[in-house]
Structure 1
Amino acid sequence: MKKILSGFLLSTLLLAACGGGDTESSDSSAEQLDPEKLYMGKCSSCHGGNLEGSSAPPLANIGSQKSYEEILDVIENGQGRMPGGMLKGERAEAVAQWLSEHE
């Protein structure tokens, strides 16, 4: 019984740490659309915590290189090694708007 309970608790902790839980119901809609939080949760591991780039291109000045629509297209459909659909709908739009303001 202890092994089953330990396995269950470990699985639950891993899901919570990796964002496997349903946060939409517990977060306010304003938090769900906070572009910086969305970026940090989905994009920063490749593009860097300060938009400096890492395993993916830097985004610090992306607004001077691409329009909002172009940025949104990349977020939704991917480009190069970046897969599409990392963010969808209003979340993708919020991050695209935020990034387009970085000139």
Structure 2
Amino acid sequence: MKKKWLALLLGTSLALTACGGNDDNNADKEPAENNETTTAGAGDAAKIYENKCSSCHAVNLEGGVGPNITEVGSRLSKDEIEEIILKGQGGMPKGIILGDEASKVAEWLSEHK
């Protein structure tokens, strides 16, 4: 029984670590002078995905810790995908991507059918 609990604890810890979290250490830093995001070259959806999502969903969208999303656009609309990105779902925490970046990634993912 102890081995099962240890495996569950280690697996959960690994999943939470891989998906990351909100790092508030940058809260005291000045925003970029041109008001563009510093994430992934100012808004390229594929780059944002690669930087923020691929650790769980894999670079090729086939999943790993997170589910396979290669054809997510055939199941969910852009708005539904954006809501999941913003609010989280299952083991995916909320707020990994926010604002315009979330909208761009949701639109990009909705095209994967």
Pick the TM interval, shorter chain. 0.7 to 0.9
The percent identity for this pair of structures is 42
Q: Of 14, 21, 25, which aligns to 2:32?
A: 25
Q: Does 1:36 align with 2:46?
A: yes
The separation in 1 between residues aligned to 2:55 and 2:75, in whole angstroms, is 22
> How many corresponding residue pairs?
85
Q: Of 89, 92, 95, which aligns to 2:102?
A: 92
* Structure 1 residue runs without a partner (length 5+): 1-19
Question: Would the alpha carbon gap of residues 61 and 89 (structure 1) be closer, same or farther in structure 2, given more than 3 Å must change?
Answer: same
What's the Cα RMSD here? 2.4
TM-score (norm. length: structure 2):
0.66
Larger radius of gyration: 1
How much has 1:27 moved relative to structure 2?
8.7
How much has 1:28 moved relative to structure 2?
8.8
Q: Does 1:46 align with 2:53?
A: no
Question: Would the alpha carbon gap of residues 27 and 40 (structure 1) be closer, same or farther in structure 2, given more than 3 Å must change?
Answer: farther
Q: Which amino acid aligns with 1:41?
A: N
TM-score (norm. length: structure 1):
0.72
* Structure 2 residue runs without a partner (length 5+): 1-24
Moved over 6 A (4+): none
Q: Of 36, 52, 66, which aligns to 1:56?
A: 66
Question: Would the alpha carbon gap of residues 59 and 98 (structure 1) be closer, same or farther in structure 2, given more than 3 Å must change?
Answer: same
How much has 1:25 moved relative to structure 2?
2.5
